[in-house]
Amino acid sequence: MKQAILGKKIGMSQIFLDNGTFVPVTVVEAGPCYVSQVKTVEKDGYNATQLAFVDEKASRVTKPQAGHFKKANISAKKYLKEFKLDEQLTLGAEVKCSVFKAGDKVDVSGFTRGRGFSGTIVRWNARRLRMTHGTGPVHREVGSIGATSSMSRVIKGLHMPGHYGNEKVTIQNLEIARVDAERNLLLIKGAIPGAKGSIVTVCSAVKSSK
């Protein structure tokens, strides 16, 4: 059965197994989330469940948003996300991290850390130009970006300076090492995308081996 939840990345830590080996884990504060909308084929054309996460001041939401939350009988929330779940949840229902258990395979999606405008060395790991034989005065510039006049254009996909980071990345088939239902924490083996405090989605793996 497919499960999903919204969470906040807390940071990385490690846990120890019974045999003494340690496992690096990422701590995610998953939920509690609340069902803010249930979409059906008859009314919306498709089945989906919208989850709301993180409390927000009522003064910071618009009137349509306030009415949306009032209809679900929940307080104002900051983040909304739709999921296609196998289980049909009721409006206003609470979703906790206990929907997952240790050993489950999950896909985690998040936005990588934004690094702003970066050159080719930082962005694409390009090498620096020579420091001698007339090269310079800038040694970290791009260099040649095209061929002779027979082409007279820059090839598509050429590595150039530009915006680096802040991209949506999904890591598949991560394993849940431990579930702390009392503190709403998921301990996921390995690293996940995003900076500390960023919002991530944790869903059941779509390509996990049976």
Q: What is the pLDDT of residues 41-55, one digit of tens each?
A: 888 888 888 999 988
Whether residue 210 lies inside any domain: the answer is no
30 and 82 in a common domain: yes
139 and 183 in a common domain: no
74 and 120 in a common domain: no
160 and 84 in a common domain: no
- What's the rounded mean pLDDT across residues 5-23? 89
66 and 138 in a common domain: no
Identify the domain containing residue 77 by its residue range: 4-115+168-204
Nearest to 48 by CA among 100, 91, 8, 7: 91
Whether residue 209 lies inside any domain: the answer is no
55 and 22 in a common domain: yes
- The reported pTM is 0.81
Whether residue 96 lies inside any domain: the answer is yes
100 and 17 in a common domain: yes
Whether residue 91 lies inside any domain: the answer is yes
Whether residue 50 lies inside any domain: the answer is yes
What per-residue confidence (pLDDT) applies to 148? 77
Angle subtended at Cα 41 by Cα 206 and Cα 168, rounded to the nearest 5 degrees = 40
Do residues 168 and 6 touch, judged by C-beta distance below 8 A?
no
Whether residue 181 lies inside any domain: the answer is yes
Tokens of 53: 């996460």
Q: Is the pLDDT of residue 40 over 90?
A: no
Whether residue 128 lies inside any domain: the answer is yes
Task: Count up the domains in the chain and report the number.
Answer: 2
94 and 37 in a common domain: yes
CATH number at residue 189: 2.40.30.10
CA atoms of 37 and 65, how far apart (whole Å): 12
Q: Is the pLDDT of residue 38 over 60?
A: yes
Nearest to 40 by CA among 84, 95, 5, 81: 84
The 10 Å CB-count burial string (b at 16+, else e) for 61-86 is beeebeebbeebebebbeebbebebe
Whether residue 11 lies inside any domain: the answer is yes
Taking all residues of the chain, what is their mean pLDDT, rounded to a whole number? 89
